[in-house]
Amino acid sequence: MLVIHGGAGTINRKNMTEEREREYRAALEQALRTGQAVLAKGGSSLDAVEATVRFMEDSPLFNAGKGAVFTHEGKNELDAAIMEGATRKAGSVAGVTIIKNPITAARAVMEKSKHVMMAGRGAELFATKMGLDIVDPSYFWTERRWKALQEELLKEQQPQASLAVEDENRFGTVGAVALDKSGNLAAATSTGGTTNKQYGRIGDSPIIGAGTFADNESCAVSATGAGEFFIRWSVAHEISALMRYKGLSVQQAADQVVNKILKAVPGAEGGVIALDAKGNFAMPFNSEGMYRGWIGADGVPHVDIYRD
């Protein structure tokens, strides 16, 4: 089983052209097929989530890798994390600007260093040393994300102006959770953060237990949304803890955190994908929409975007 998300926020039909919706649905389906192909050949859940997230990082549609949003200074600063459920090994990178696929760098931190998280210049030096794909920062520039930054900057100068920058263009994350034939879970998350973010801001995506978590005894989780709240409420680990200590199902635990705990907090908008070791999964969100999908052993991809 493989479950994915491509970000949550103000995503509704009235703001979506038919052409753009087709592009998103096609990209989500291809991401699912990419990961499922790994699982179908007996590959590990870790390989599957990495391959899936790499595909989404390479797409300009999503706020990760190629499609990352811009910081206040006009840069693209990327975060990613990966974790496997059998041993709770994990790796992450934060604030990187030249690594083409941050999720692969996160896996390298997990497997080829004694650390869990590396940030900024140090993470970039490590990735370079490991022979990962390094690109000029201009690789991440897209007109759509640059325009979103300019709109945010204009709002700062004219706070009374009626400029509605859609959450979809300001926030967003990609993520995948998978269960392989050996019964092992894995989770991966990657993001460009938030448009106009300040001073080296890091969100929940690269923080184990906040935006990313995997444990065979409970579930694998990848989150998307207002990262500061997901950090403060340890969202991914909270779902796991509710399953382990209260005996809740993955659906019950994910709903409890997203639609009760977070929903009661002003501004704590977003969603998660969560998958247990029996193949049961949940995709709750408290925003207007969330790019999401799943694919099982039959190889048929299922994708959705809106609340209804």
Percent of all residues in the chain with a pLDDT value above 90, rounded to a whole number: 91
Q: Which residue has the higher pLDDT, 15 or 293?
A: 293
Mean pLDDT of the chain: 95
Q: Which residue has the higher pLDDT, 167 or 39?
A: 39
Q: Is the pLDDT of residue 54 over 90?
A: yes
Helices (H), the chain: 18-40, 45-57, 102-112, 120-129, 143-157, 167-170, 227-232, 235-246, 250-255
Catalytic residues: 173
pTM above 0.85, yes or no: yes
Q: What is the structure's pLDDT at 12?
A: 85
Q: What is the structure's pLDDT at 169?
A: 53
Q: Is the pLDDT of residue 204 over 60?
A: yes
Give residue 163's pLDDT band: very low, low, confident or very high (50, 70, 90): very low
Judge contact between 132 and 104, C-beta under 8 A: yes
* C-alpha closest to that of 45 among 89, 102, 7: 89
What architecture is domain 2-163+173-194+205-295? 4-Layer Sandwich (3.60)
